[in-house]
Every structure is written in C-alpha cells, then in structure tokens.
Amino acid sequence: MEQVFSYIIGLGAAVMMPIIFTILGVCIGIKFSKALKSGLLVGVGFVGLSVITSLLTSTLGPALSKVVEIYGLQLKVFDMGWPAAASVAYNTSVGALIIPVCLGVNLLMLLTKTTRTVNIDLWNYWHFAFIGAVVYFAADNIWWGFFAAIICYIITLILADYTADRFQKFYDGMEGISIPQPFCQGFVPFAELINKGLDKIPGMDKLEIDSEGMKKKFGLLGEPLFLGILVGIIIGALSCESWKEVVDKIPYILGVGIKMGAVMELIPRITSLFIEGLKPISEATRDLINRKFKGAKGLSIGMSPALVIGHPTTLVVSLLLIPVTLILAVVLPGNEFLPLASLAGMFYIFPLILPITKGNVVKSFIIGLVVILIGLYFVTDLAPYFTLAAHDVYAATGDAAVAIPEGFDGGSLDFASSPLAWVIFHLSYSLKWIGVTVLVLITMFLMFLNRRAIIKYQKAAAEAENTENNQQ
C-alpha cells in the first residue's frame, strides 16, 4: 500500500491531480468526459503555477544570490522551497498513508458533526504529512508523527469551518467552498488579533485602501503589473556592484522587471483555470452530499487556496513584502534563513487574511509583516529537524529536490513558517506527554465548540426551511 501511494504521489501534482479528480468526478456521478476535462484543467492549472513559480524563482534567485554575495550575508539555512517540503512529506511512511488516514478522520468528524468541511484538496495533504514527517524523524517514532499529522488535520478542518462564511462572502464565486489548508489557516488567529488591535489605532480608518482604491489613488502605480516591474527593477539594480555595472546591465535589470510584472499579471489568469476545473467537482460533490448525507445543511467543500491567490490585494501585498522579507532576513538577530525558492509561497499567506481585513492593503501588509517576521524564526528553529527528514528521503529516493548543499541546513517558508506547524511540533516533540495532553485537550475543546456551532446552524436552517414551507 505504501509503495502504491508513494508511486502515485511521485507523479507530481500536475499528473496526480487530474487522475484523482477524474476518478472522483466519475464516482460522484459526473460524465467521464466532463470529469476528465475538469481534472485536466486542474492539472494545467498546476503546470501553469509551476511555470510561474519557476519564473519567479529563476528570475529572483540569481539576482538575490548576487545581493547576498555583494553584501557578504551569512545565512546557513538553505531555502529548499515547497517542492522539497512536499517531497519530504510524501516520501515517508507517514506521508505515504496520510491521504487514506486523513480521509477517514474527515468522515468520522462529519458523522459526529465536529466539522462541516468535506476536504477534497488532496494534493495539499502534504502539509499534514510534512509536520508528521518532521515529528517522526525528530522523535524517531512513527506514531508520534501520525499523532501530529492527525491533530493538525482536525484543527485545520475546524478553522476551515470557522473561516468558511467570511471566505465565501469576500471572494466572488466561492459559495459552498472552504480552505482546509493548514499554512493558510495557521495565520488566522494572528490576523484576528492584529486586525482588532489595528482597529483601535486612531486614524487607521483613514487608511481603508483596497486594491481598487489603490488603482484609483495611484493610477498605474497601483497596478500589480506595474508594481511587479518596479520591484523587479529595484532588485535587479541592487544585484550590481557599482553604478557603472548598473548602466552596463540595463537590459538585464529591465528584463528582471518585466518578468516580475509577468508573474503578477499571469497568476490571476492561471488561477481562473483552477476555478473552471474545480467548480463542476465542487458542485457535484455538494449535490451528492445533500442527497445522501443526513444533516448536510451548511456543509462546505474543501478546496485549494490556489483558487484565490490571484486576488489583486494578495498580489500587491506579497510583492511589497518580498524586498521587506529579504531585508528582515538579513537584519534580524538570530535568523539564519534567507527565503529565495520559497518566495512564491508568500502568496499563500493571504487567502484567509483578506476576508478578515476586508481586502485592506495597509492592514494586510502589517499582518503579513508580523507573520513573516515570526515565521523566519520558526523556519530557523525547525531547520535541523527538516534536515534530518530531507537527508533520509534523499538517501532512500535520490530525489535531487531534497538534496541539501554541504554545510547547510534545509528549510522552507512553506508551512515551516506557520505558527500551527511550530506549535504542534514543539508540543508533541519537545514537551512529550505534557504537550500531547495539552494538544488533545485543546483539540477536543475546539471540536466541542465546533459541534455546538454546527448543530445550532443546522437547527436554525431547518426552522427557516419549515417556516418557508408553511408560508407556501
């Protein structure tokens, strides 16, 4: 079984997801041709995102590496990026079985009314496998790994329920959809607290600027396309050692700018493919659940945050944070991680922050800044354990994606910077049974609160339906 799942996962998201969604579509009653088209569009979407991600990292990577060289920066945690993190996650005993285990947990929670999310975002199960794999190698005990993964999964589903209504109201065309991805969900408590604190600051209400407001106020300067070009040009110029070199490399600098602008412009277009591919699957899944599942009122279909990373505010804030993050990585005492390959993961911080800030650029930027500042330390702290897992996977598979250069530890902004990952790791590994007890109690309490909220919602929905029927 482990070998089967490892083989399937090894196909990569672009191949794995079309197969899975085609089979899923047929199983829930969609015609084969329509299911195949949906699956292929999702696969094309993943290819498109991979191309854009590669363009981002291949453009910025050499320029930023040159900046590191020029200014003599010494940061020993090598940025592996999300492909390495996913490879580490899935190519372990925990990762190979994570999909069936988590699907079983999801079904059990649906039956006990402790979640209202049906999580079909199978590719992003690697996030749960990641924390499980890191705990597994750190503790040298597979059961600790499975415990961490399952706890992370349960908490994520509860947070997906908590954020679902606001998510659906904020984004167009997302009715009945939630985001059960732990990297996104891990920032929600921070965003809630910081947003409330910002609301108490006098004058903050005058800075209620969303992406459309930026376009109106700054014109061309407020466009993600232009901001991408501008930031790219600045980074390209910083990679030059002298003004003479800047003049000599004007074509290169302008090229970096244009490529960054392309990234900003193409991401929203690529995400539309995800929406087009996943919408039939989402609708069919929802219809099936409503027909077959008792008490299905209010259930949401768990989807990838890739659906909404093309939002203009996400693009603008992520772009502005890239140079700020690099500066922070250099000046923060105790930080050993310089994000390069992980920069594309910046976009995934914001899908669930924007519904909280209502798309406000200033608030989203401040929250993102705090999150990144803390996240750099989280990545640095988890780097030795990530390295253990990566070395083992490389020895077993020879996968170049997880090969860490000699003299470096490995790290990734993706999920390793998440507060949820860090807290679960240290409670389950560092504090052992005390931490496990705390995690279990917290999780059970959250399940209790969520069950109560679900029952209340379904009761209110049933009463409203009865009233409507009586009036007719």
- Residue 207: is its pLDDT beyond 80? no
Q: How far is the C-alpha of 305 from the C-alpha of 303, rounded, in Å?
A: 7
* pLDDT one-digit tens code per residue, 301-316: 898 888 888 888 888 8
Task: Provide the pLDDT for residue 265.
Answer: 79
Task: Provide the pLDDT for residue 6.
Answer: 56
Task: Provide the pLDDT for residue 236.
Answer: 86
* pLDDT one-digit tens code per residue, 227-250: 778 878 888 888 888 888 888 888
190 in Cβ contact with 370 (< 8 Å): yes
The separation between CA 98 and the C-alpha centre of its own chain, rounded to angstroms, equals: 18
Q: Which two tokens stand for residue 364?
A: 């989203």
Mean pLDDT, residues 29-53: 81
For the chain, the domains span 2-465
Q: How far is the C-alpha of 322 from the C-alpha of 146, rounded, in Å?
A: 34
- When mean pLDDT is compared over 160-164, 175-179, 411-415, the highest value belongs to 160-164
User: What number of CA atoms fall less than 13 Å from residue 332's CA on the CB side?
Assistant: 22
To the nearest whole number, what is the mean pLDDT of the chain? Answer: 82
Count the helix, strand and coil residues of the chain and give each as a percent rounded to the nearest 5.
Answer: 75, 5, 20
Q: How far is the C-alpha of 333 from the C-alpha of 458, rounded, in Å?
A: 50
pLDDT interval class at 438 (50, 70, 90) = very high
- When mean pLDDT is compared over 47-61, 198-212, 383-397, the highest value belongs to 383-397
- Of residues 204 and 171, the one with the higher pLDDT is 171
Buried b (16+ CB within 10 A) or exposed e, 188-226: bebbeebbeebeeeeeeeeeebbbebbbeeeeeebbbbb
- Residue 330: is its pLDDT beyond 90? no
For residue 118, list its beta bridge partners: 301
Other Cβ atoms less than 10 A from the Cβ of 430: the count is 11
| HEC profile of 38-55 | HHHHHHHHHHHHHHHHHH
- Residue 31: is its pLDDT beyond 80? yes
The separation between CA 135 and the C-alpha centre of its own chain, rounded to angstroms, equals: 20
Q: Which two tokens stand for residue 462?
A: 């049933």
How many Å is the Cα radius of gyration of the chain? Answer: 22
Task: Provide the pLDDT for residue 370.
Answer: 93
Q: How far is the C-alpha of 315 from the C-alpha of 297, rounded, in Å?
A: 34
**Distances from the Cα of 74 to the Cαs of 323, 359, 457, in angstroms?**
18, 36, 54
Which pTM was predicted? Answer: 0.83
